[in-house]
């Protein structure tokens, strides 16, 4: 187990270094001179040259990247081009915290709904309940967020007046309910489909029939043999699903007026604020890599054969 974890831990920084190199290169070849953006349109060439020298833009590309990596390890992502004199981490910190909270509660909604429904539908294969539940979740998945969010706001915030429409007061506040379900419900269908297929595959295994033949209780077989083994393939997609969830939350933040990274990201795109864009993309890649690392470790804990083959 220790050897397997060590290998995964050693590979993660290498992958992040390569991903960071690609992300940083995109910012370097993007149109516009960072020094001109920071100096302003009316700046003289001497002022622009001084800024280029201060930013190290005249250095070779790999020197710039290695310096960026060294600074990033200290959570120093440089200065924003749009908000002059303000560090990128200063801008991202509070907004990234809100976005992370929103994605965490949305992911809980996704798993809490999708996994039990997938198991429930598989155990009722051949009855009308299985296709009914699959059809309902498919319809929810097919609805765009631009329809789902206004519908939830109309019903629960305006008609029933149960939940506030916009704003953010923390992960455990009522403000998190509507956006969490707006993001989490479509993802629940994906996990329901995977869980249903995985459970059906496990139900056909010989050890399940053997467990029933030995007189084990129905709930015991479901918990120890069916659900446990059906979850194994699901764990491998947990990390990758986080990336899609985070991307979808940007639109939801704008609809519900949540002070996350969405508005800052849009401003960075239109204002060509490359340090902010680079930091956001690099942080996203880091979170994805860490999530996949955790998923691999969880997989090896549940199924020892994985670490033995490794």
SS3 state at 79: strand
Q: What is the mean pLDDT of the chain?
A: 80
pTM: 0.77
Domain residue limits, the chain:
20-84, 89-309
With a cut of 60, say whether residue 305 has pLDDT above it: no
**pLDDT digit string (tens) for 47-64?**
778 877 877 777 888 888
Residue 183: burial class (beta carbons within 10 Å; 0-12, 13-18, 19+): buried
State the Cα–Cα distance between residues 199 and 84, nearest whole angstrom.
55
Provide the angle, in degrees to the nearest 10, between the axes of the packed helices 228-256 and 274-302.
Answer: 160
The neighbouring-strand residues paired with 79 are 87
pLDDT in tens, 71-105: 888 888 888 877 777 888 888 888 888 888 888 89
Three-state SS for 18-72 is HHHHHHHHHHHHCCCCHHHHHHCCCCCHHHHHHHHHHHCCCCCHHHHHHHHHHHH
DSSP alpha helix (H) spans, 165-273: 177-203, 206-213, 218-221, 228-256, 262-270
C-alpha 223/C-alpha 201 separation (Å) is 15
Confidence of residue 109 (pLDDT cuts 50, 70, 90): very high
Q: Encode burial over 133-144: b for 16+ CB neighbours within 10 A, e otherwise.
A: bbeebeeeeeee
Yes or no: domain 89-309 corresponds to CATH 1.10.3720.10: yes
User: φ, ψ for residue 79 (rounded to 5)?
Assistant: -100, 150
Closest CA to 166 of 98, 268, 83, 88: 98
pLDDT digits (tens, 9 = 90+) for 219-270: 777 766 777 778 877 877 776 676 666 666 788 888 888 888 888 888 888 8
- Contacts of residue 5, defined as CB under 8 A and 6 or more positions apart, other chains included, come to 297, 300
């Amino acid at each position: 187990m220790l050897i397997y974890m060590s290998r995964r831990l050693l590979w993660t920084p290498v992958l992040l270094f390569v991903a960071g190199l690609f992300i940083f290169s995109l910012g370097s070849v993007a149109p516009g001179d960072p020094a001109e953006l920071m100096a302003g349109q009316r700046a003289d060439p001497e002022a622009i040259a001084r800024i280029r020298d201060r930013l190290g833009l005249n250095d070779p590309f790999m020197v710039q990247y290695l310096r960026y990596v060294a600074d990033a390890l200290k959570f120093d992502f440089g200065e924003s081009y749009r908000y002059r004199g303000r560090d990128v981490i200063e801008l991202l910190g509070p907004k990234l915290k809100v976005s992370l909270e929103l994605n965490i509660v949305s992911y809980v909604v996704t798993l809490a709904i999708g996994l039990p429904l997938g198991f429930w539908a598989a155990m009722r294969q051949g009855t009308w309940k299985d296709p009914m539940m699959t059809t309902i979740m498919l319809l929810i998945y097919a609805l765009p967020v631009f329809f789902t969010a206004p519908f939830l706001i109309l019903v629960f915030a305006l008609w029933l007046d149960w939940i506030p429409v916009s704003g953010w007061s923390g992960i455990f506040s009522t403000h998190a309910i509507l956006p969490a379900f707006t993001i989490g419900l479509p993802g629940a269908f994906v996990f329901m489909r995977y869980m249903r297929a995985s459970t059906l595959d496990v139900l056909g295994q010989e050890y399940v029939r053997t467990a029933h033949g030995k007189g084990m209780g129905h709930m015991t077989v479901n918990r120890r043999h069916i659900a446990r083994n059906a979850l194994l393939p699901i764990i491998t997609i947990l990390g990758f699903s986080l990336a899609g969830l985070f991307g979808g939350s940007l639109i939801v933040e704008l609809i519900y007026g949540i002070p996350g990274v969405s508005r800052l990201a849009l401003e960075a795109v239109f204002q060509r604020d490359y340090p902010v864009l680079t930091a956001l993309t690099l942080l996203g890649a880091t979170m994805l890599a860490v999530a996949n690392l955790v998923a691999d470790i969880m997989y090896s804990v549940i199924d020892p054969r994985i670490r033995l083959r490794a």
